Structure 1
Amino acid sequence: MRTWSRKNSLGGVKIRSEMDAREASVLRSLVSSVLSLLEDRAAAAPQDDLAELTGLRTGNSDAPTDATLARLLPNFYRAEADREGTAAQGANMNAALRSLHEPEIIDAKLAAGSVILQTVPPEGGKVSLTPEQADAWLAGLNDVRLALGTTIGIDADTPDELEPDDPRAPHLDVYHWLTWMQDSLVQVLVP
């Protein structure tokens, strides 16, 4: 992939780059996997009679048990460890907030990932984004990085390079590529 560039044209600002077919395939596959996880989570939301009457959508009140989904959809509130009774209060608050806001959060994540899928040529090639699409790319790339990082166990102690025989090594290279792509896009968007 080439570094992102910013071009002013008669049609407005365009953010451009180019990907080869392999890069496009990897990115499309990763984004599709994340979208599938989120769609499954949204489909698993309980049906609420009150929501049907009022038109207010509700989501799951329980936190995801899957580590990747838990990273993409973290709790809203953390209880203070030194205060008595805050764990139960925090659980109740998280359940209520999750039920109210998770559908919108999932919708935003699905929309961002969809923009990536719509703008990455399946066979590779030129990518041209509006600033709004570039913002969606940043959000979508962040979700893919979070999902991949959780899946392969990246944390603060993970070295920049792994031993070649480590099964996570190729995935870490992809993680670094996604990080570079996201950082390059940020650099172009910041005037």
Structure 2
Amino acid sequence: MAGTGIHVPMQQVEAQHLAELVEQFLDLLRETEWGADAALSRLTPAVYPEDAEASAEFAEATSADLLDRRAADARVVQNGLGSLGEATDGRDELVLTPSEADAWLRTLAALRLVIASRLGIEDDPAPDPEDPRLGVYEWLGYRLELLVEAADELDI
């Protein structure tokens, strides 16, 4: 596909699965009160780990804005996936601007954090290897790697 920007290969089936994950992520952001879900807490980590009261105060003041920005990034991903799904030319490549690529990177990383939280991954992946969520977690890592490599080629 012609065009300037960051070229990201994406099969239709991958786009469909990623769109479902992004929609679930947006639902989580919309429907869950901050602090009520460990995954959201992981998206807004304590800034003062040694001072729980100061961290809670900071989180209360900033978490809504941070989660709103995460939702805006996720909508950028949704729009990109939607444009791929609307293509009638059989293309299997997205072309992203640098700002779109940044939103994609943040969203894919956030999705991985949510899944890692669900799997109990802290430092090293040690969940049940039969858990299908682990495959999704690893696939998102692969997608992140492809995006980073594509951005590196353009020195962005």
Residue identity matched to 2:62: H
- 3-state SS in 2 of match to 1:150: helix
1:38 aligns to 2:9 (yes or no): no
Match of residue 181, structure 1, among 137, 143, 153: 143
Distance in 2 (CA, whole Å) between partners of 1:189 and 1:143 is 19
What is the TM-score with the length of structure 2 in the denominator?
Answer: 0.81
Q: What does residue 43 of structure 2 align with?
A: 72
8 Å contact 2:7–2:150 — kept in the other structure?
no
Match of residue 14, structure 1, among 5, 11, 20: 5
1:35-92 Cα deviation digits (max 9, x unpaired): 1111224xx4xxxxxxxxxxxxxxx6xxx1322122122222111xxxxxxxxxx232
1:156 aligns to 2:123 (yes or no): yes
Rg (Cα) greater in structure: 1
- 3-state SS in 2 of match to 1:179: helix
Distance in 2 (CA, whole Å) between partners of 1:176 and 1:150 is 14
Name the structure, 1 or 2, with higher relative contact order (CA <8 Å, separation 6+).
2
1:29-108 equivalences under 5 Å are 29-41=20-32, 44=33, 64-79=35-50, 90-108=51-69
- Note closer, same or farther for the CA distance 1:138–1:92 as it changes in structure 2 (3 Å cut): same
Tell me the matched-pair count. 147
RMSD: 2.5
Distance in 1 (CA, whole Å) between partners of 2:126 and 2:47 is 30
Distance in 1 (CA, whole Å) between partners of 2:120 and 2:61 is 30
Which structure shows the bigger proportion of residues in strand conformation?
A: 1
- 3-state SS in 2 of match to 1:156: coil
- 3-state SS in 2 of match to 1:65: coil
8 Å contact 2:12–2:92 — kept in the other structure?
yes
1:134 aligns to 2:101 (yes or no): yes
Distance in 1 (CA, whole Å) between partners of 2:47 and 2:122 is 21
- 3-state SS in 2 of match to 1:78: coil
Distance in 1 (CA, whole Å) between partners of 2:53 and 2:124 is 33
Distance in 2 (CA, whole Å) between partners of 1:186 and 1:112 is 17
8 Å contact 2:120–2:127 — kept in the other structure?
no
Which structure shows the bigger proportion of residues in helix conformation?
A: 2
8 Å contact 2:26–2:74 — kept in the other structure?
yes
Task: Give % identity.
Answer: 31
Residue identity matched to 1:180: Y
What is the TM-score with the length of structure 1 in the denominator?
Answer: 0.67
